[in-house]
């Protein structure tokens, strides 16, 4: 057993010498961290040192998200929810990518009195939009489902997605946890992304930081 790399200061500082130590003796780097990319040495620097290839899951993420980003089927719907403030920054960048964007969770306007779930009127709106859409991306649970009390919004949205003829892409760590917790299966949806913020960033920019690094690699890959 080894310590998590994040415990090493060289990892968090993106230290090139540390990255060279990690990659020493290696011929290639197969990269699967679609959702976990950051500027750490193992994720940002190693791909600049040795030939790097995306893995099977990474490639599938890109393929499926590209289908949504480039789809001409309308109407398209994005549901962004959850408690992370950083998600709000994606809304403006995604306005021209989707016909409708609905906001739930902490940022919704139609909440229950305690503010921990969307209310019945909002549930009805979300469900109608899902049923009339041709493609739907769901990012984040709609309420604090993990307490076992505020599950109505997330369950209703999941149920509408399962019943909808639309192509359904669903992602985000909390979202993935909510699927089995609320009695659903990952196979109920067309594609389950490992990414939350990474999924939104890809949809907004049409790329991933790792792909840009690979594109500019200074060496000839075999």
Whether 192 is covered by a domain: the verdict is yes
CB 80 within 8 A of CB 90: yes
pLDDT value for 207? 93
Q: Are residues 182 and 112 in the same domain?
A: yes
Domain range for 147 is 72-205
The CATH number of the domain where 89 resides is what? 3.40.50.1260
Whether 60 is covered by a domain: the verdict is no
Q: Are residues 88 and 193 in the same domain?
A: yes
- Give the Å distances, CA to CA, from 211 to 10, 37, 54, 58: 23, 11, 8, 10
Q: Are residues 43 and 104 in the same domain?
A: no
Give residue for tokens 């993420």.
61
Q: Are residues 48 and 90 in the same domain?
A: no
DSSP 8-state symbol, 14: T
Q: Are residues 90 and 23 in the same domain?
A: no
Domain count within the chain: 2
Name the pTM for this structure.
0.89
Give residue for tokens 């907004």.
204
Q: Which of 97, 151, 160, 91 is nearest to 126 (CA)?
A: 160
**C-alpha–C-alpha distance, residues 138 and 171, integer Å:** 6
Give, for all 222 residues of the chain, the pLDDT tens digit: 568 888 889 999 999 999 999 999 999 999 999 998 888 999 999 999 999 999 999 999 999 999 998 888 899 999 998 766 667 777 888 988 999 999 987 777 899 999 999 999 999 999 999 999 999 999 999 999 999 999 999 999 999 999 999 999 999 889 999 999 999 999 999 999 999 889 999 999 999 999 998 888 776 555
Whether 48 is covered by a domain: the verdict is yes
Whether 184 is covered by a domain: the verdict is yes
Whether 89 is covered by a domain: the verdict is yes
Q: Are residues 96 and 190 in the same domain?
A: yes
Q: Are residues 85 and 154 in the same domain?
A: yes
């Amino acid at each position: 057993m080894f310590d998590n790399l994040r415990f090493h200061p060289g990892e968090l500082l993106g230290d090139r010498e540390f990255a060279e130590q990690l990659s020493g003796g290696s011929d290639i780097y197969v990269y699967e961290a679609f959702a976990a990319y950051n500027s750490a040495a193992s994720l940002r620097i190693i791909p600049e040192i040795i030939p790097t290839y995306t893995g099977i899951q990474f490639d599938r993420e890109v393929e499926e998200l590209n289908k949504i980003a480039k789809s001409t089927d309308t109407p398209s719907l994005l549901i962004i929810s959850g408690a992370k403030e950083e998600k709000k920054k994606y809304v403006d960048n995604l306005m021209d990518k989707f016909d409708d964007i609905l906001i739930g969770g902490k940022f919704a306007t139609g909440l229950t009195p305690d503010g921990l779930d969307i209310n019945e009127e909002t549930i009805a709106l979300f469900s109608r939009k899902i049923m009339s859409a041709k493609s739907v991306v769901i990012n984040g649970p709609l309420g604090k489902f993990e307490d076992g009390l505020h599950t109505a919004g997330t369950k209703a949205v999941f149920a509408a997605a399962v019943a909808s003829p639309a192509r359904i892409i669903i992602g985000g760590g909390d979202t993935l946890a909510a699927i089995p917790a609320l009695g659903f299966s990952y196979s109920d949806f067309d594609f389950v992304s490992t990414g939350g913020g990474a999924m939104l960033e890809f949809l907004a920019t049409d790329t991933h930081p790792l792909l840009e690094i690979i594109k500019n690699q200074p060496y000839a890959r075999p």
